[in-house]
Amino acid sequence: MVTGQAAPGAMAAAGSPSVFLLAVNGQIESGQFPGFDDLYCKFCFVYGQDWVPTAGLEEGISQITSKSDVSPTTLVWNFPIDITFKSTNPSGWPQIVVSVYGPDFFGNDVVRGYGAVHVPFTPGRHTRTIAMFVPESTSRLQKFTSWFTGRRPEFTDPRVVAQGEGREVTRVRSQGFVTISFNVVTKDMKKLGYDVSPGDMQNPSLVPVMEGIHKY
């Protein structure tokens, strides 16, 4: 069943492209988690079966950051993300899943928030603020013990937050925000019939970018 996989690359060279590319860079800029300190975050990308990362890091983990006196609610990570995907199908467009961790009162590492957002599909610079949430304990007793032991409920897989299936069985509490900036470049999308830019968009700055990509 893996036979068809080598073909796209070869075809791309010969005239009309058979895949389109999506280059994403940017950074996980900051988070707002009032009352928490010394947080770090992890990110990973979730994408459909027709997507393949061609370059860059699919997952990452940031440094621990402490809040400053200047703005005591904002924790700045400025953690860069840089990844390129190739794909044949816009279905399953990549999502970035961010999970934030930090020590609790007893110094145990606990999760402080999960969140996910789709990578913007129009080229250009975008900033996204994700509202974060954490799963709740199923009972008061468990809430207490989990607080006491520092083993709070976590998603079995952070990717759960990028999908809708099975979420109905969970209860979550919202907690904090994370701001991510994306710079998105696409290649060959339009050639393959996927027009993502609004019809009236006047953005001359994109043209040289596209040209640059072509050369690349």
Partner 1 sequence: MREKLKAARSKAEITLLQEDPSPRPRRLKSIRERKTEVKLDKASDNDKFGEMQEDESHLPPKIKFRDSVKKLRQKSTFQNDFPSTEEAYNFFTFNFDPEPKSIKAGSRKRNELNEEEETEEDCVETHEEDEMDEDVCLVKGDDLFVIGQAAEDFLVVKPADCESYSEQLKKEKEFLFTPSMLAVPTSEKMPGNMQPRYLEDEGLYTGERPFVSQSNQNILENRILRQEQGKEWFGDDGKILALPNPIKQSSTRPPVFSLEEGIAPELETVYRKAIKITAANQYLVGPGDYQGPFQLDIDISGLIFTHHPCFSREHVLAAKLAQLYDQYLARKQKNLTKLLTDKLHALRNAVQYSIDSGGDGVPRPVAQQSIPEYKIEIRQTRRLRDAEQEKDRMLLKTIIKVWKQIKSLRDFQKFTNTPMKLYLRKEEVDQKLDEKAYEAEIQAEINELLEECMEEYEKKMEEYKTELQEWKSWKKTQKSKKKKKKKGIHEEEESVEDCDLGEERVKPIPPKMVSSLEIEQQVREKADNCRRKPGVPALIPELVLSGSVTPTELCPRAEVLRREDVKKRSAFIKVLFNSKEVSRTVTRPISSDFRVHFGQIFNLQIFNWPESLKLQIYETMGMSGTTLLAEVFIPVPETTVLTGSAPMEEIEFSSNQRVMLDHEGVGSGASFSFEADGSNKMTLMTSGKVSNSVSWAVGEKGIPLIPPASQQNTGIPSALKNIDAIASIGTSGLTDMKKLAKWAAEAKLDPNDPNNAALMQLVMVATSGEAHIPDFFRLEQLQQEFNFVSDEEFSRSKRFRLLQLRSGEVAEFRNYKQVPLHEREISEKIFQDYEKRLKERDVIDRKNYLDAHRAVVANYLQKVRESVINRFLIARRHFLLSDLVNEEEIPSLGSESPGILGLGLFKLAEPKRPLKPRRKERKKVTAQNLSDGDIKLLVNVVRAYDIPVRKPVLSKLQQPSKSSRSFNEMFAASPSAQSATDSPDWAFNQVLVRPFVEVSFQRTVCRTTTAEGPNPNWNEELELPFRAPNGDYSTHSLQSVKDEVFINVFDEVLHDAVEDDLERGSGIRTRVERHWLGCVKMPFTTIYFQARIDGTFKVDIPPVLLGYSKDKNLGIERGYDSVRNLSEGSYITLFITIEPQLIPGESVREKMNEMLKKFDTQEDEKLLQAAAKYEAECTSKFPSRQCLTTVIDLNGKTVFITRYIKPLNPPQELLDAIPNSSQTAAELVARYVSLIPFLPDSVSFAGICDLWSTSDQFLYLLAGDEEEHAVLLCNYFLGMGKKAWLIIGNAIPEGSTAYVLTLEQSQYVIWNPSTGCFYGQYDTFCPLQNVYCLISCDNIWFNMQEYDSPVRINFDISKPKLWKSFFSRSLPYPGLCSVQPEELVYQHSDKAAAVELQGRIEKILKDKIMEWRPRHLTRWNRYCTSTLRNFLPLLEQNQGKDVEDDHQAELQKQLGDYRVSGFPIHMPFSEVRPLIEAVHSTGVHTIDVFNVEFALAVYIHAYPQNVLSVWIYVASLVRNR
Across the beta sheet with 74-87, the strand order is 51-56, 74-87, 20-32, 172-187, 124-135, 109-118, 95-103, 40-46, 59-61
- Site for partner 1 contains 5 (CB under 8 A): yes
Least Å distance, CB 5 to partner 1, is 6
- Site for partner 1 contains 109 (CB under 8 A): no
- Site for partner 1 contains 53 (CB under 8 A): no
For residue 214, report the phi and psi dihedrals to the nearest 5 degrees.
Answer: -60, -45
Q: Which residues pair with 97 in a beta bridge?
A: 44, 116
Closest to partner 1 by CB, 122 or 145: 145
119-128: burial string, b at 16+ Cβ within 10 Å, e else = bbbebeebeb
Residues 139-168 binding partner 1 (CB under 8 A) are 139, 141-142, 145-146, 148-149, 151, 153-157, 159-160, 165-168
> Interface residues with partner 1 (CB under 8 A)?
1-5, 7-8, 11, 18-19, 49-52, 59, 87-89, 135, 137-139, 141-142, 145-146, 148-149, 151, 153-157, 159-160, 165-170, 192
